[in-house]
A = this chain, B = another copy of it.
Amino acid sequence: MADIPSLVRDLVVANRILAREAVVDAYGHVSVRHPDNPQRFLMATSMAPEMVEPEHIVEFNLDCTPVRDDGRPLYHERFIHGGIFEARPDVQAVVHAHSEDVLPFTIVPVPLRPVIHSGSFMGATVPVWDMADRFGENTNLLVTGMEAARDLARCLGNDNVALMRGHGFSAAARSLIEVVRMSVYVPRNARVLMNALRLSPDVKALHAGEIATRDAGYKPYSLETRRAWRYWAHKAGCAHLVPDHPVDHAHKPWGSD
């Protein structure tokens, strides 16, 4: 059995990091699949991520109903998470956010693509989902049910990040720490690309082989990754929630790979 209290604590840290790094503000959310039951995932009740505490974390079924409904309000867009977990058994964690510097790429015909090494994890292609394509021009742009969520998941396909027109992005990864890292570096990559394109139309993106090599070499529980997690937690004021000798949620000690 997985160590759920430790996973809940990591999810709290993820919320705080995303807030401190300005990936989310009052809105946006992060979830993690239940390690013992892939038909469930964990996420906070409706809360600004910076204010999430362990007691706010609840368990959801993949259709986004809470396993135990205690009447607390839930994120209207929790369906984004259910839709992606349902479609992608390989995905262990999801972030949805409205990061300001990603938004320009959701409304222009210029693709977001990785141009810096820390951005490689978004993958070579980043599709843009325009809710109007299927649901028309009179929506409120929010993903508040499984039908829209499944359409978004279809657009994401096997990629790691889908942009959402005029709204934000959703990111999917193999671990909580990886999805947080991607969510921090995708906006940075977006800023670098915007600045580069203002200097010249002739921008060198990462080579496909570089993206693939970095992807193959990524270990979410490596010491290098742990270094970033610990630092971000320190900046977010919750270093005390990061144990000195953490275990990963596949039961390996951190730093062992």
B50 touches A213 (CB 8 A): no
Given A117-B167, A139-B213, A207-B132, residue A100 in contact with residue B51 (CB < 8 A): no
Task: State A196–B107 Cα separation when bound (angstroms).
Answer: 7
User: Which 3 pairs, one residue from A and one from B, show the smallest C-beta to C-beta distance?
Assistant: A48-B231, A138-B209, A26-B228
A115 touches B166 (CB 8 A): yes
Determine if A250 is an interface residue (Cβ-Cβ < 8 Å).
Answer: no
In the complex, which residue of chain B has the Cβ closest to the Cβ of A27? B228
Determine if A104 is an interface residue (Cβ-Cβ < 8 Å).
Answer: yes
Please give, as numbers and ranges, the residues of chain B lying within 8 Å of A5 by CB-CB distance.
none
Copy number in the complex reads 4
Taking CB atoms and an 8 Å cut-off, the chain A residues in 175-229 that contact chain B are: 188, 191-192, 194-200, 202-210, 212-214, 217, 223-224, 227-228
Task: State A212–B212 Cα separation when bound (angstroms).
Answer: 44
Determine if A9 is an interface residue (Cβ-Cβ < 8 Å).
Answer: no
In the complex, which residue of chain B has the Cβ closest to the Cβ of A117? B141
Task: State A140–B209 Cα separation when bound (angstroms).
Answer: 8
A116 touches B227 (CB 8 A): no
B223 touches A46 (CB 8 A): yes
A213 touches B138 (CB 8 A): yes
B118 touches A98 (CB 8 A): yes
**Max chain B Cβ within 10 angstroms of own Cβ: one of A200, A202, A208:** A200
